[in-house]
């Protein structure tokens, strides 16, 4: 199969690829020796790197876990932990760990960054396998799909929601953000400076996109940062404008596999920002 890289930047084209079942998440390389409860095991057992029935089943387990959490409660807990001195970029992960029943938040805080170092790439820092095993112990017992799904929630929170919190704190200092509701600043940050700036897909068969031929096996990079600034969709797209009302940004995905934790991420981020910006009274 060919593997010619292609970068997609137009909003409509990104939506088309994300909605087309011929474009799948790049499959993981075959593993000859995969230790149980290791980084390789985690990546092979979560919905993010799966397709077809495996993805649907694993995604449903994550949705079930998230549906058991009240986003408004997550927001309140995020305010409290942030006001009590928690690292703003790590609060979301700690709150979700608490909601998932983790009894040792200190062990969670130590293990998550190490495990997350290789979650997206498969090349983690020293100790990543051991960190995944620790997380499996903290989030078990249960079937592999269930435990891995719980860990995946924390991986996403650490990487994506943590990055969003830091970006909102940064952009919230802009003059345009002063006096705006926190939800508006978060929404515009997601468009203007997405915490996950790109996604990748592989064409499983020959296809055409906006008149362009795409050969089977082509690796397609979806540039979310560029798509979120497409002038065909967003007026004055290079300007940070928390007051804008056209907000169909693609940061949480679209089509076949939108992020299942969008509402939770927004509420967790809002809680942290409220605590940092407004202090104790807002946090309690």
CATH of the domain at 277: 1.10.630.10
Nearest alpha carbon to residue 14 among 275, 282, 222, 271? 222
Average pLDDT, the chain: 93
Flag whether pLDDT at 229 surpasses 90: yes
pLDDT at residue 44 is higher than 60 = yes
Strand ranges (E), 3-131: 6-8, 23-24
**Which helix (H) or strand (E) is 200 found in, with range?**
strand 198-203
Q: Which residues contact 127 (CB under 8 A, 6 or more apart)?
A: 114
Q: What CA–CA distance (Å, rounded) separates 28 from 10?
A: 27
Per-residue pLDDT for 89 more than 80? yes
> Is residue 135 assigned to a domain?
yes
What letter does residue 195 receive in the DSSP assignment?
A: S
What are the C-alpha distances in Å from 112 to residues 30, 135, 157, 243, 256?
25, 7, 10, 35, 28
Domain, as residue range, for 43: 6-26+35-283
Q: In the predicted model, what is the mean pLDDT of residues 192-198?
A: 96
pLDDT of 1: 41
Summarize the confidence of residues 221-236 as an average pLDDT: 96
Examine the pLDDT at 130 and tell me if it is beyond 90.
yes
User: Residue 177 domain-assigned?
Assistant: yes
Residue 1 falls inside a structural domain: no
Beta-strand relationship, 198-203 and 212-214 = unpaired
Residue 86: per-residue pLDDT: 87
Asked, for residue 208, whether it belongs to a domain, the answer is yes
According to the model, what pLDDT value does residue 3 have? Answer: 56
Angle at 136 (CA atoms; ends 135, 141), nearest 5 degrees: 135
The pLDDT, as a whole number, for residue 215 is 95
pLDDT at 77 over 50: yes
Question: Residue 62: which of 266, 258, 277 has the closest Cα?
Answer: 258
Place of tokens 């959490």: 69
* CA 11 to each of CA 65, 175, 240, 244, 246: distance values in angstroms, whole numbers, following the listed order: 31, 28, 18, 17, 13
Mean pLDDT in residue range 87-92: 94
Mean of pLDDT values over 11-34: 91
pLDDT at 280: 41
Q: Look at residue 169 in the predicted model and tell me its pLDDT.
A: 96
Answer whether 240's CB lies under 8 Å from 192's CB. yes
Binning pLDDT at 50, 70 and 90, where does residue 245 land?
confident
Asked, for residue 129, whether it belongs to a domain, the answer is yes
Residue 279, phi-psi category: left (phi > 0), alpha (psi -120 to 50), beta (remainder): left
**H or E element at residue 16:** helix 11-19
Please indicate, yes or no, if residue 91 is contained in any of the structural domains.
yes
Does 283 score more than 90 pLDDT? Answer: no
With a cut of 80, say whether residue 225 has pLDDT above it: yes
Tokens of 53: 């029935």
Confidence of residue 284 (pLDDT cuts 50, 70, 90): very low
CA–CA gap between residue 45 and residue 54 (Å, rounded): 9
What is the predicted pLDDT for the residue at 35? 84
The span from the CA of 108 to the CA of 140, in Å, is 13
Predicted confidence (pLDDT) at residue 66 exceeds the cutoff of 80: yes
Query: What is the number of domains present in the chain?
Result: 1
């Amino acid at each position: 199969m060919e593997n010619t890289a292609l970068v997609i930047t137009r909003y409509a084209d990104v939506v088309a690829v994300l909605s087309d079942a011929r474009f799948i998440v790049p499959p993981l390389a075959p593993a000859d020796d995969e230790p149980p409860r290791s980084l390789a095991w985690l990546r092979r057992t979560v919905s993010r790197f799966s397709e077809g029935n495996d993805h649907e089943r694993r995604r449903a387990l994550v949705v079930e876990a998230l549906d058991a959490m009240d986003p408004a409660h997550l927001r309140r807990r995020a305010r409290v932990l942030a006001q009590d001195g928690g690292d703003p970029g790590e609060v979301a992960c700690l709150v979700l760990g608490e909601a998932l029943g983790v009894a040792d938040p200190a062990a969670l805080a130590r293990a998550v960054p190490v495990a997350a170092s290789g979650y997206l790439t498969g090349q983690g820092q020293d100790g990543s396998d051991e960190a995944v095993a620790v997380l499996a112990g903290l989030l078990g017992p249960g079937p592999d799909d269930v435990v891995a799904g719980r860990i995946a929630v924390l991986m996403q929170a650490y990487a994506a929601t943590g990055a969003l919190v830091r970006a909102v704190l940064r952009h919230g200092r802009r003059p345009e953000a002063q006096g705006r509701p926190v939800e508006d600043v978060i929404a515009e940050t997601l468009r203007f400076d997405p915490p996950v700036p790109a996604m990748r897909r592989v064409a499983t068969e020959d296809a055409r996109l906006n008149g362009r031929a795409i050969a089977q096996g082509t690796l397609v990079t979806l540039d979310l940062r560029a798509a979120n600034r497409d002038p065909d969709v967003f007026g004055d797209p290079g300007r940070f404008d928390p007051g804008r009302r056209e907000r169909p940004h693609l940061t949480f995905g679209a089509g076949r596999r939108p992020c299942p934790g969008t509402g939770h991420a927004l509420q967790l981020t809002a809680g942290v920002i409220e605590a940092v910006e407004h202090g104790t009274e807002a946090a309690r």
